[in-house]
Structure 1
């Protein structure tokens, strides 16, 4: 029997759930790192690190009990919510980026199993970065989606 991680299915399910969320209807949800000149002012990336650490998913596997299968896997999907306020209004950009994070949290609370792909998906750590330049005020929340699952065989 072949051992199979849930990581690819979890990424697909998370992207699909965020793209289908009514509260994110006007927000672009990117699947992985994207090079674009689209000028999007609100976006969420799923499974993408940053320039310093491009890691998309990090995790570990362990035996569960005495059974030879399946293995327990726990991993973190790295994501980010980004808002650019062209008027340079940092408080508005910051407030909006946390609204986007709240929408992600709501999606996960509504379906913690990501359609049955995993046992549990929940928001983990987050960090806020703020930048003010000639394009406006940019607020980014890098956040983790923590996954607990069993591998497939």
Structure 2
């Protein structure tokens, strides 16, 4: 039967591009000149760091919803392989302004989001890992406490790719 392996033939395993896309985003953000001096975290990290500016990949700091990636897979056309996968990687930009200047924290957070967008625009294929990756939705949250003004922009990187077999 077509599509089934012959006796003794090895069936290739299905593989998502999600792990490679996450690694590619972390590497691209860490190498970006516009993000020099900004700490790039790979997923959730427990830290007592006094870091004032950070970008997280695969984490937005939401304890109630720790989802890192959300997506779906569909069959592409009539072919048995590969499957098409579309997913959103949850990320965040965080800026803490120690003097409590909310406007400065917010403006810097959007400046860093612009740098992230520039990184994606320069290599939408993430080094050939996916078909296309681009900025998706975003939300701004602001907080003020004894440490200063915190601006957090949670955003998604929307990805369209073919799985590997």
What is the TM-score when the length of structure 1 is the normalising length? 0.99
Partner of 2:115: 103
**1:128 and 2:131 equivalent?**
no
Shift of 1:10: 0.2
Match of 2:81 in 1: 69
Max Rg structure: 2
2:130 counterpart of 1:118: yes
Q: CA deviation at 1:48?
A: 1.1
Unaligned runs of 5+ in 1: none
1:86 aligns with 2:98: yes
Aligned twin of 2:40: 29
- Separation of aligned partners in 1, 2:28 and 2:88: 17
**Cα-Cα RMSD:** 0.5
Residues 80-112 of structure 1 show CA distances to partners (whole Å, capped at 9, x for unaligned) of 000000000000000000001000000000000
Matched, 1:59 2:89: no
TM-score (norm 2): 0.92
Aligned to 2:23: 12
Large movers: runs of 4+ above 4 Å? none
Name 1:139's counterpart in structure 2.
151
2:4 matched residue in structure 1: none
Deviation at 1:52, TM superposition (A): 1.6
2:49 aligned residue (9, 14, 38) = 38
Report deviation, 1:67: 0.3
What are the ranges of 5 or more consecutive residues in structure 2 without an aligned counterpart? 1-11
Q: Deviations over 1:7-64 (max 9, x none)?
A: 0000000000000000001100000001100111000000014112000000000000
